[in-house]
Structures are given as structure tokens and as C-alpha cells.
Amino acid sequence: MKSATTLLGVSLKMYFTHRQSIEWCGSVAELAGPFGDRLPEGVELFVMPSFVSLPGAAAQLENSTIRLGAQDLHWEDYGAFTGEVSPVELRDIGCSYVEVGHAERRGIFGESDKIVADKTAAALRNGLTPVLCIGEPLEGEPEAAIAECTRQLNSALDGQFELISKGAPRLVIAYEPVWAIGAATPASEGHIRTVCDALRSWLHDRGIESATNIIYGGSAGPGLLSRLGPSVDGLFLGRFAHDTESLAAIIAEAAALNEFPG
């Protein structure tokens, strides 16, 4: 069953300077009004600037209902891990969400399935909602994508099903076909719907569907949400949402769909 809330997330990756990130967060906060009263009912938004910009972003967002997230975390809470960032620290500075297992982390930085599983567990035990990124590396038939995505889910969530079923924190699955990230266009609507419907059935069979949101990422932009229908609970946005006018259009699109579901 599709969630009653449309969930939108934005990652800034490493595109902005610190000053640009803070200014962007300020502009996004204005979209929601001083106390979130202009963020449409049934729409939730989280944003993920770089680590160094998180405290400044938190200050910009504190009078809005927009949630703060981080782009990564370490799998241990404390220790001698130079250059890493603890999930405890992320929670302490106001993060609600944290991205885990993005294709760039897996591909460029060599994160294994075990690392992704350990980071997912670290997020959950510290009350952070993991945005668990999954996706097939090469374009192909939906059946192959489903097999690879469920394999990744089985690995990442091993031993966590009982905790997730309690719904605090929730789990977010970001379906991001690797071949669609940074592409000119997203995956086809039919492909996305088929894969995400199968993922929802997989979650249902394991008793965690009601505690999980499924969102699509990979060259997602304005207009896509309307075409995907109830197969997804929202979108994970990148470069298209770096322009706040485009983000505002996607928020309005989500609000319209909630008001007039079709």
C-alpha cells in the first residue's frame, strides 16, 4: 500500500560550496514558510548537504518542518576512525535521515554489501532513518533489476526486520538504477513501476511494508511523480532540485497528487 505521505529528498552531493549550501537551505526553508505552514499537507521533505554544512543547514531549517539528513555515516558509534562521522554525532546535530549505500559509495569508494549492512544497522540503532539506496548496474529487463535489488535488500537488512517493523525509525528504500544516475532521462515509467511494485510485495512478505517508504531516484525531475502513480511514495532528487524553482514545482506536483489522487 502506498504511503499517505509523499516523501521528497534532495542530496546536494559535492556540488555546492559551504556558502552556497547554506544559502540554498535558507531558500528551501522559505518554501515551507516560517513554521512549515506552507509545506503542503501530506508532503515531507528532507535535504542532505555535505557534512561540513550540516550545522549551518540545521540553523537555517530550525523554524521549518523540513528534515535534515546526511549523505553518509560510519558503522561504529565511537572509535579511532580518522575522518569518519559517527551516527551519534549526526543525531546530536539534528539529522533525521542518513543516506546509505549510494552507487557512488559502492562503486567509487568500494563499499561492500557488508559495509552497507553495517551502516544500515548503525542508522537504525541510533534512531536515524536510513535512505537505503539500491539498484542494478546495467540497463536490462525489470526481472533482472528486481533480482539484484532484492539481493541487495536481503544483505542490507539481515537481522533488522523486527526492529524495522516497529516503525521507529522508518526505513526508506531509494530505488536508483545505477545506469540512470546522471543520465539525460530517468528509467522508463513502466520499468520503475514494475520494479517498485515488486519491492513493495517483498516488503509486505517480510512484514515491514507499513514501516517503509519506496522512493525513486536517478535523473528524477518535475513531472515524473505524476507519471509513476501509486508505485512510489516519492522521489529522491539530485541536480534537478538544486534549482529551488524546480523543487518548488515538484512540491506543488506532490501536493496536487495528494489532493486529487489518480
User: C-alpha 112: how far from its chain's center?
Assistant: 19
Q: Which amino acid is at 5?
A: T
> Which of helix, strand or coil describes residue 108?
coil
DSSP-assigned states of every residue in 25-59: HHHHHHHT-TTSTTSPTTEEEEEE--GGGHHHHHH
Report the catalytic residues: 102, 176
Rounded Cα gap, residues 119 and 24, in angstroms: 28
CA quadruple 114, 49, 233, 177: dihedral, nearest 10: -50
